Amino acid sequence: MCAFLRRDVQSVWQQHELKDRLNTYQEIFKENKLPRYKLARLFYVSFQNDSNLEELLEIHEQTHPKFKEWINQKQSYTIQDLEKEVSIEHSLDEIQKLNFLRLKWIIFDKMIESCTFCENKCGVNRKSSQLGKCKIDDKAYVTSSFIHMGEEAPVSPSGTIFFYGCTMRCSFCQNWDISQEYDFNIIKGKRVRSTELASLYYTLLKQGARNINFVGGDPTPNMHVIIESLLHAQVNLPMLWNSNMFLSENSMKLISDIFDIWLPDIKYSNNECAKKYSKVSNYWDAISRNMSFIEQRGSGEYIIRHLVMPEHTKCCSIPILDWINENLKTPLTNIMGQYHPDYRILRGENPEINRRPSTLEMFDVRKHADDLGLYWKSVS
């Protein structure tokens, strides 16, 4: 019912450029195709749980191209037909123990002991309650979940789940109370187990969700529990990764082929601005690599978000649009103008960005997108 509150969530699909770019996503929420996580759960892989991390990663990388090909062949099957077909070679009980999704979860469960989920690569053992930059231990914590009608038209209404924690430390963060400055002792009451998350997906589906949207803060520190929840999930909904995309190369390899649609947030076009405002290193190297992974290894269906910041159109916004135009095949770009001073900016940090972007700055960025022929208006 809530879909009717915004007319554009229906009308946007009349635009061919958008329909072509998000075709599989749309087919999944119409239940004409299977979500990728369900395919990964039925893809048999032989591995030993007690193998070391490097061995398991190697098996994962050998399996990825076969799985990618298999998705192309089988995504239009019904789950019943697919189960029938895969059970010719291995029983469903056997596949339940040894499948591609389970392999991914086991790898994350080992990675967390010297955590490299994101590009910060803190190396802490989160299972021993050591905390890295994100300040999240080995559990997952949800702050809220609801049907979000304010996301981009093609992905609304969205079954959005906000997780605590973030892998970046932006001085202007507008979600700082859940991403950076929370009392870890208090949020422990918000812990969710993987089976509870799987039930939540079903609740959101019944409330009208077109997708399950993992966001935060940033969802990356909670990755292991999210992947484990997909081993239990039953919903035929696209899974949406809504993130700063500051994942490590291994994390990105592991999740690139199981999320159906992506909302990557590209803030800066260089490492220096990222270091100054978000306190991270190797930002652009990680983001440009991870964006390429979405296209080369994953669904290739995504809407990039770029928040235009004051004084950063020449060093960041314009080069980002140029990079998108030169490097990505099917970009949809949301050029966002809602930046406002918040959090540490209001306490005096980075005074040069203590204002909204001007009309002229927004105009320059949007005009540049038009000059390049980028597709942005209907998702902005």
Which CB sits closer to ligand SF4, 6 or 135? 135
Q: Are 232 and 198 in contact (CB under 8 A)?
A: yes
Q: What is the 3-state secondary structure (H, E, C) of the chain?
A: CHHHHCCHHHHHHHCHHHHHHCHHHHHHHCCCCCCHHHHHHCCECCCCCCCCHHHHHHHHHHHHHHHHHHHHHHCCCCHHHHHHHHCCCCCHHHHHHCEHHHHHHHHHHHHHHHCCCECCCCCCCHHHCCCCCCCCCCCEEEEEEEEECCCCHHHCCEEEEEECCCCCCCCCCCCHHHHCCCCHHHHHHHEECHHHHHHHHHHHHHCCCCCEEEECCCCHHHHHHHHHHHCCCCCCCCEEEEECCCECHHHHHHHCCCCCEEEEECCCCCHHHHHHHHCCCCHHHHHHHHHHHHHHCCCCCECEEEECCCCCHHHHHHHHHHHHHHHCCCCEEEEECCCCCCHHHCCCCCHHHCCCCCHHHHHHHHHHHHHHCCECHHHC
Nearer to ligand SF4, 43 or 246 (CB): 246
Stretch that binds ligand SF4, among 36-44, 84-92, 115-123, 260-268 (CB under 6 A): 115-123
Site string for ligand SF4, 297-326 (x = CB under 6 A): ------------------------------
The answer to whether 6 contacts ligand SF4 (rule: CB under 6 A) is no
Residue list 214-233, contact with ligand SF4 (CB under 6 A): 220-221
Contacts with ligand SF4: how many residues (CB under 6 A)? 14
Span interacting with ligand SF4, options 132-140, 194-202, 235-243, 293-301, rule CB under 6 A = 132-140
Cα–Cα distances in angstroms (integers) from residue 32 to residues 27, 59, 131, 301, 352, in the given order: 5, 31, 43, 17, 50
- What tokens appear for 57 in the block? 């990663």
Q: What residues numbered 148-207 form the site for ligand SF4, per CB under 6 A?
A: 167
- The single residue among 3, 79, 98, 122 that binds ligand SF4, judged by CB under 6 A, is 122
Stretch of 120-128, 146-154, 197-205, 273-281 lying at the interface with ligand SF4 (CB under 6 A): 120-128
Among 118, 170, 198, 273, binds ligand SF4 (CB under 6 A): 118
What is the 3-state secondary structure of 321-339? Answer: HHHHHHHCCCCEEEEECCC
Q: Does 120 bind ligand SF4 (CB under 6 A)?
A: yes
Q: How far is the CB of 326 from ligand SF4 (least distance, A)?
A: 29
Which CB atom, from 160 or from 243, has the smaller least distance to ligand SF4?
243
Q: Is 244 in the site for ligand SF4 (CB under 6 A)?
A: no
110 binds ligand SF4 (CB under 6 A): no
The smaller minimum CB distance to ligand SF4, of residues 158 and 220, is found at 220
CB of 223 to ligand SF4, least distance (A): 8
User: Does residue 117 interact with ligand SF4 by CB under 6 A?
Assistant: yes
Residue 133 interacting with ligand SF4 (CB under 6 A): yes
Does residue number 115 form part of the binding site for ligand SF4 (CB under 6 A)?
yes
Which residue number, 221 or 298, has a Cβ lying nearer to ligand SF4? 221
- Least distance (Å) from ligand SF4 to the CB of residue 117? 4
Q: Is 250 in the site for ligand SF4 (CB under 6 A)?
A: no
132 touches ligand SF4 (CB under 6 A): yes
Residues of this chain that bind ligand SF4 (CB under 6 A)? 115-118, 120-122, 124, 132-134, 167, 220-221
